[in-house]
Amino acid sequence: MSASPATRTSAAPTATSAAPTATSAAPAAGADDPCCAAPLPVLGRDVAVPLVTGGEVTYAALDYAASAPALQRVWDDVAAYAPYYGSVHRGAGYLSQLSTDLFENSRTTVAEFLDCRDGDQVVFTRSTTDSLNLLAAVLPADCQVFVFETEHHASLLPWQDAKVTYLNAPRTEAQAVETLERALADRDPYGPALVCVTGASNVTGEIWPVKELAAAAHAHGARIVLDAAQLAPHHPVSVKELDVDWVAFSGHKLYAPFGSGVLAGRADWLQAGDPYLAGGGASKKVARRADGGVDVEWHTTAARHEAGSPNVIGVYSIASACKALTEAGFDTLVEREQALVRKVREGLAEVDAVQVLSLFGDDAPRVGVISFVVDGWNSSHFAAALSAEYGIGVRDGLFCAHPLVRTLLGSDPQDPGECGAPEAEPGERSLNAIRVSFGAGTPDEHVERFVRAVKELVANGARWNYRTEDGRCVPAV
């Protein structure tokens, strides 16, 4: 195609320029409405929820680590594109051509956001989990995989068909590097190897020494994939600077809904492996053989692993979020988020009954993710009270990181406990924790209300009765 959507019509959006932005479509930070007092306005910022004690309050969404609310900017960009929706890589019509341009321009936007190297491929997937399972499916034969037990299940579990070495939880950043170096030094130096590591923990929020781990991996002839699901929404991620071989993240953590993810990095293993899904789009040429079979020539581009009709809206939403974060400036976003982190941590430190979970200690760099337990409280009961009595949404459970939470709580690996479904009664300790998480769309008032609520619940107890229903703690009717 010779013309981009932006040159064909001034109304049609592209992944790089023409879509409306949150600066014109939504209240800016500092607007009269205190719910908008955040760098990047998000959907749901003015939603009122009922309290069991009576009345309503603006909902405080403090579960960003599970799914961040969509940026208003992203929603507006998608709405501007929606009338131009068409099939991608399939049609000769105007809308199909425009949608194809939008899809491929989005790939360029994501590559720029991640500071990819020349020759790196950006493959669009459904999520971080999908991305890492894709990489697991194309590992060379006899590849050895090294992964810390501290990983989210998305990066802990996909490698089970390979030869996996699970590494114990380190207690300092330096110990993480030393643990990996020892494990790699003991491996067969002649075979392929892959290290999988998180960028920021979805439990503690602590930022891992990714650059140092990448250097250790490469020094021992191994490659490394970065799970950036919790890092990319809070902190710049540069493939070049960190020197990682691949990076994976999810759109729904990055303020972009619609179920899309990214795997970006070196092309050789992706090109050599069988397509993740077999079907249209992945195939370049298909022909019947004389013996009745089928010969297939697969694409060597990212399309090799993008079979089926692409999720153009999901992909465009990721590109829009990448642009919004870049334009807002990570220096500004990080500085402001760190102020919120300090406010929460200092507030929790004033409550003797609260134990904040950490691997690397108080001085470790971290993003806006903090997990804790409260003496004398079942974590599910505490989270339910925060929601029902204060309009605050947090997460309780094992956060799909069971081995890590068990380690942090000092439990036996066989102790009972499920992610988000504790069996203990409201007043009984259980093997689970509470997680509060926030980001660029979080007003100060939300974290201030959270700290105040924690102090009141610990000091005075819940004002309502609760019961367990289908594995969840809920207000008793």
Max CA distance (Å), the chain: 80
| CB of 149 closer than 8 Å to CB of 196 | no
Q: Judging by beta carbons within 10 Å of its beta carbon (0-12, 13-18, 19+), is residue 277 exposed, middle or buried?
A: middle
Write out the two tokens for 420.
């988000």
**Residue from 116, 143, 322, 400 carrying the catalytic annotation:** 400
Tokens 């503690």 found at = 204
Nearest in space to 368 (alpha carbons), one of 257, 243, 207: 207
User: Rounded distance, CA 142 to CA 75, Å?
Assistant: 44
Can you say whether residue 299 is alpha, beta or left, with left for phi > 0 and alpha for psi between -120 and 50 degrees? Answer: beta
- Facing residues of 285 across strands? 297
- E strand or H helix at 226: strand 223-227
Q: Judging by beta carbons within 10 Å of its beta carbon (0-12, 13-18, 19+), is residue 362 exposed, middle or buried?
A: exposed
Write out the two tokens for 443.
């007003």
Contacts of 267 by beta carbon, 8 Å cutoff, 6+ apart: 119, 120, 121, 300
**What secondary structure, in 3-state letters, does 163-191 show?**
EEEEECCCCCHHHHHHHHHHHHHCCCCCC
DSSP string, 420-461: T---S-TTS--S-EEEEE--TT--HHHHHHHHHHHHHHHHH-
| CB of 46 closer than 8 Å to CB of 33 | yes
**Does 400 participate in catalysis according to the annotation?**
yes
Write out the two tokens for 167.
């590494």
Within a 10 A sphere around the Cβ of 142, how many other Cβ atoms?
12
Query: Which residues are known catalytic residues?
Result: 400
